[in-house]
């Protein structure tokens, strides 16, 4: 522990202050684009830096959006959707554009992250008429802050009257946070409607190939809680998302998609 300065009135405390340029400036915000099968190109704003890794547009998000576009009728059209740890929110934007009835796109409740989600909603042309947040909340897609495993009631309150949970959950490139697997499982358990058609879509790449077994432990955890797990997709990207990452390049280029569902004895319909 550093000792306090001596009690000397002639001491200039400013000597102990960091110089103005001591810390490097925060990186500026960036943008990425994603072109939908319809031909519409989405401009996705990303925060300049985030300790939560929200400043990247992850491959899992791109592949998830493509998966919805390949068959919207059986994935998101006419359904309610919740995305957690959304970053730029690409799969949620795709779901809303493809006809989901209500989409709640969330990330950690940081003002900059939530404001960035709203900006992407606006850029996609999905804001309803009106300039106020109250007007925006009436739209097909809304942005909000949410901590994994937290009280889900504020999210469930956004559902249409009579709904007891979301039809579709999106978890895109979140499994590298191994310590949070239990909280992610809690959120699925607490927010996904107990219906035959309900799905939690989990898309991810093992960005640390030597820890792939820890990523996959998530599925063992949800199975232990009674869920059914099915691998539904594997796609090889042209190149890894990050250049010069260590580990098996084939693993680094591979995105897999999984569906987590309720077992039949848990269906409420």
The whole-number pLDDT of residue 247 equals 94
User: In DSSP terms, which residues pair with 257 in a beta bridge?
Assistant: 203, 233
DSSP letters spanning 87-122: TT-HHHHHHHHTT-SEEEEEE-S-HHHHHHHHHHHH
Token pair belonging to 167: 């039809």
Q: In the predicted model, is pLDDT for residue 97 greater than 70?
A: yes
Q: Which residue has the higher pLDDT, 85 or 26?
A: 85
Q: What's the N-to-C CA distance of the chain in angstroms?
A: 61
Q: What is the pLDDT of residues 202-258, one digit of tens each?
A: 999 999 999 999 999 999 999 999 999 999 999 999 999 998 899 999 999 999 999
Task: Give the 3-state secondary structure of 147-177.
Answer: CCCCCCHHHHCCCCCCCCCECEEEEECCCCC
CATH superfamily of the 13-266 domain: Vaccinia Virus protein VP39 (3.40.50.150)
222 close to 260: Cβ distance less than 8 angstroms: yes
Q: What is the pLDDT of residues 115-129, one digit of tens each?
A: 999 999 999 999 987
> For the sheet containing 80-84, what is the strand order?
141-145, 102-107, 80-84, 168-172, 199-204, 254-261, 228-236
What is the rounded distance in angstroms from the CA atom of residue 176 to the CA atom of residue 212?
9
Mean residue pLDDT across the chain? 89
What is the rounded distance in angstroms from the CA atom of residue 174 to the CA atom of residue 200?
13
Largest CA distance in the chain: 78
């Amino acid at each position: 522990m550093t000792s306090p300065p001596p009690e000397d009135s002639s001491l200039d405390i400013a000597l102990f202050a960091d110089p103005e340029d001591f810390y490097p400036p925060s990186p500026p915000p960036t943008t990425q684009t994603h072109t939908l099968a319809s031909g519409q190109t989405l401009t996705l704003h990303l925060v300049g830096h985030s300790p939560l890794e929200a400043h990247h547009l992850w491959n899992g998000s791109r592949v998830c959006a493509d998966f919805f576009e390949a068959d919207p009728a059986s994935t998101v059209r006419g359904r309610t959707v919740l995305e957690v740890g959304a970053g730029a929110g690409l799969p949620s934007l795709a779901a809303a554009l493809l006809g989901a009835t209500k989409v709640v796109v969330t990330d950690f409740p940081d003002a900059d992250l939530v404001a960035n989600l709203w900006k992407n909603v606006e850029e996609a042309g999905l804001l309803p008429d009106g300039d106020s947040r109250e007007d925006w909340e009436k739209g097909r897609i809304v942005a909000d802050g949410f901590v994994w495993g937290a009280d889900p009631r504020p999210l469930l309150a956004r559902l249409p009257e009579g709904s007891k949970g979301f039809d579709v959950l999106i978890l895109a490139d979140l499994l590298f946070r191994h310590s949070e697997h239990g909280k992610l499982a809690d959120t699925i358990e607490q927010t996904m409607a107990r219906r035959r058609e309900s799905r939690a879509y989990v898309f991810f790449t093992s960005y640390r190939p030597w820890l792939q077994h820890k990523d996959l432990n998530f599925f063992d955890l949800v199975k232990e809680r009674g869920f059914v797990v099915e691998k539904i997709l594997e796609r090889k990207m042209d190149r890894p998302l990050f250049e010069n990452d260590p580990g098996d390049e084939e693993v680094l280029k591979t995105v897999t998609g999984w569906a987590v569902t309720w077992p039949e004895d848990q269906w409420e319909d």
